[in-house]
Amino acid sequence: MDGIPEMECEATIVSELKIFKALSELADHIPSFIYKDEKGISISYFFERKSVKSQRNLDLFSREFECRAYGDSYFIVSEEGTMPSIAIYGKLLSIPSVVVNYKYLKDGVHHIIFNFSKKDLENFSLFIMELKENTPGFSIVYLGENRGISRVLDIMKEVPSFYYSSMRIHLAPEEMQGIMKHKWVRRMRYNSPHVVTDAIYKFEDQIPEIEGINILSEKNKVAQLKTRGPKLRETIDYLEPVRMECQKNDGETMYFDAVVLSSFYGEYLKNVIDDARKLNISDVTIRKAGPLIDFLGFS
């Protein structure tokens, strides 16, 4: 789905908060993951144990802030309830066509790269004007046509712990209901509870008439749709450092591609397989897996 949606924005926010200045002193490039549920916005920040510049700074940081270990990584979580300033990301995601490509912290500056549809340009402009007025340190680095996913991957490869994962699941005929009856490729807009799928779809045939579907481009067969499925497990989803989640349904098989932090890859794989088993799907194939940088330039 490279080039979809057709617009791109890259923005930065210089943070004056002590926690982010201290976090930037620990590691050079810190991936962050936006999570949205009924309670609002949460953002998790992950950094590798081996990327920490100073053990002393880590010890000081851990004593002052709620820093937790996860495998070979550490993370902190900002929640809207205790950090109201991150509510701006909820406003951004309220624009239906916005897809978050990547967000990270570097040198005390928050970077976010996302795509959106020309259909939402007016709503986006209103959001940007409000942000400029109310958010000190905000600036736009780029706003224009979608520059393609390769540029984002070039930034992500600065994080050695990013893994590429590709899996295939064969679907039983009884699973082919609702949106699953149609052939498409979809990109997840943001991290969400597993029961929720909010995605941008590129359909192979015409856009189907489904309740709640938001047509972005009739000509290009692109639409946004938010659906709910069965509750399969109890997890704290914002702990899942997953990005670039793209799925394809060809009518018989589902393909799952994602970029995952290596410390979480085993858990990610287990979650997908467990969910498939609960849906009585046993045919799960791992197609590709390994450091992201090893796959750049390959299809």
* DSSP per-residue string spanning 3-49: T-SSEEEEEEEE---HHHHHHHTT-S-EEEEEEEETTEEEEEEEEEG
Q: What is the pLDDT at residue 271?
A: 79
Q: What is the pLDDT at residue 144?
A: 95
Bridge partners for 260 per DSSP? 163, 242
For residues 228-246, b (16+ Cβ closer than 10 Å) or e, as one string? eeeeeeeeebbbbbbbbbb
Report CA-CA distances (Å) from 79 to 87, 167, 259, 261. 9, 31, 23, 21
Q: What is the pLDDT at residue 294?
A: 92
Q: What is the pLDDT at residue 239?
A: 58
Q: What is the pLDDT at residue 235?
A: 47
Q: Is the peptide bond before 96 cis (omega within 30 degrees of 0)?
A: no
Q: What is the pLDDT at residue 297?
A: 65
The encoded tokens of residue 199 equal 């995605």
Q: What is the pLDDT at residue 230?
A: 58
10-residue mean pLDDT profile of the chain (299 residues): values are: 89 91 92 90 90 89 88 88 90 95 94 96 93 90 94 91 90 77 93 83 94 94 86 51 88 90 85 75 85 78
Bridge partners for 227 per DSSP? 197
